[in-house]
Structure 1
Amino acid sequence: MFEALIDPTAGATLSGGATALAPRPADLHGRTVGLLANTKRNAEQFLDAVADLLATEHGAADVVRRRKLSITDPVPADTLAELVAACDVVVVGVGDCGSCSASAVADGLALEAAGVPAVVICSDAFTVSADAMARLQGSPGYDYITTAHPVAPLDADGIRERARLALPEIVGTLTSDGAAAA
């Protein structure tokens, strides 16, 4: 039985306006892809599978991996600065609970505000939390993608399959060509 209900947007500050999306590259060929994983089980494995697919199917050249130490806290300033300096695009995830979904959306918006295209991946059970954070940040309707819940108990084959299924939306969100085709 639950003893308390936790608000995943608690502590977030209301943004003064909508975050403008960073300009998208036409494609991912030769690009450096950042992966910002949280501490949820299988988040890093899911993002690694996405990176493998982006390299083999879309020509991504390099990967920068970073891991947040807390699912609920915003991306640390130094980690954000590293991703902004080193990456052409960033994949954030995996939001597989209410708090981490809200935090992932906040991280995606922080990357966008810093000029780096980002795609946030959340499991479909937590769209309410993700949408609430987008509204709180002044960006209602922020485009993130969903994968079926849950991600945590998947085996290696299940992770690869989920990444493969999410790939078209990931590419579509990160690129101008993909966005036009989507």
Structure 2
Amino acid sequence: MAQIEKLFDPTGAAVDVAEAALAPRPTSLSGLTVGLLDNTKPNATVLLEELAEVLKRDHGVAATKLYTKDYFGTPMTTELRDQLAAECDVVVTAIGDCGSCSAATVADGILLERAGKPAASICTDSFSPSGNAMAEVQGFPGYDFATIAHPVASLDVEQIRSRVQEALPQILRILGVER
């Protein structure tokens, strides 16, 4: 007989599962400020900077702001969440390419949604189970996040650009943007 196991948050964060609704979505990114949350993993900055260029060039984003977390394996601080919510219209978090950082990247997206900001988190396909588990632990089962091919850390700039192109349609869909 199969036994149901309890899921635990590998980041050690306290869980408030009171709210599992997405923040209101924009219909366009034109004129908006997009926050980019770098979790300090190798190539996260490069990936987010490449994404910023595409969003500005092809989707009319007015500005992008890069923020950096203290540590990739835990969710962002309350102070950083509040800063992102105050300064940005939407946020993209990256990159989940290991177990704890994938869980934390998804948790960051959920924290932003609960703060009223649409968010798209990016994880690699090898660690999407970790992201899905975090969504469940956070009381947000089925939370949608972008998945790109693993790995990211060892890629050159051209390969990162390819990953951005892979993530872009997912990010736009998650943010509710009409293409």
**TM-score scaled to structure 2, two decimals?**
0.91
Alignment of 1:1-182 (within 5 A): 9-177=10-178
Task: Tell me, in whole angstroms, the C-alpha distance in 1 between the residues paired with 2:19 and 2:140.
Answer: 4
Identity %: 48
| Post-superposition offset of 1:17 | 3.8
Task: Tell me, in whole angstroms, the C-alpha distance in 1 between the residues paired with 2:136 and 2:19.
Answer: 9
CA deviations over 1:52-102 (Å, ceiling 9, x no partner): 111101000101110112011210122111110010000001101111000
| Post-superposition offset of 1:10 | 4.7
Task: Tell me, in whole angstroms, the C-alpha distance in 1 between the residues paired with 2:21 and 2:10.
Answer: 21
| Post-superposition offset of 1:177 | 2.7
* 1:70/1:57 CA distance change after superposition, 3 Å: same
What SS class does the counterpart of residue 178 from structure 2 fall into? helix
* 1:168/1:13 CA distance change after superposition, 3 Å: same
Give, as a single letter, the amino acid of the residue that structure 2 aligns with 1:28: L
Task: Tell me, in whole angstroms, the C-alpha distance in 1 between the residues paired with 2:79 and 2:115.
Answer: 13
Contact 1:43 1:94 in 2 (8 A): yes
Structure 1 unaligned runs (5+)? 1-6
What SS class does the counterpart of residue 177 from structure 1 fall into? coil
Aligned length: 172
What SS class does the counterpart of residue 46 from structure 1 fall into? helix
| Post-superposition offset of 1:16 | 3.1
* 1:28/1:10 CA distance change after superposition, 3 Å: closer
**TM-score scaled to structure 1, two decimals?**
0.90
Task: Tell me, in whole angstroms, the C-alpha distance in 2 between the residues paired with 1:38 and 1:10.
Answer: 13
Give, as a single letter, the amino acid of the residue that structure 1 aligns with 2:86: A
Task: Tell me, in whole angstroms, the C-alpha distance in 2 between the residues paired with 1:126 and 1:37.
Answer: 17
Structure 2 unaligned runs (5+)? 1-7
Give, as a single letter, the amino acid of the residue that structure 1 aligns with 2:42: R
| Residue in structure 2 matched with residue 4 of structure 1 by the alignment | none
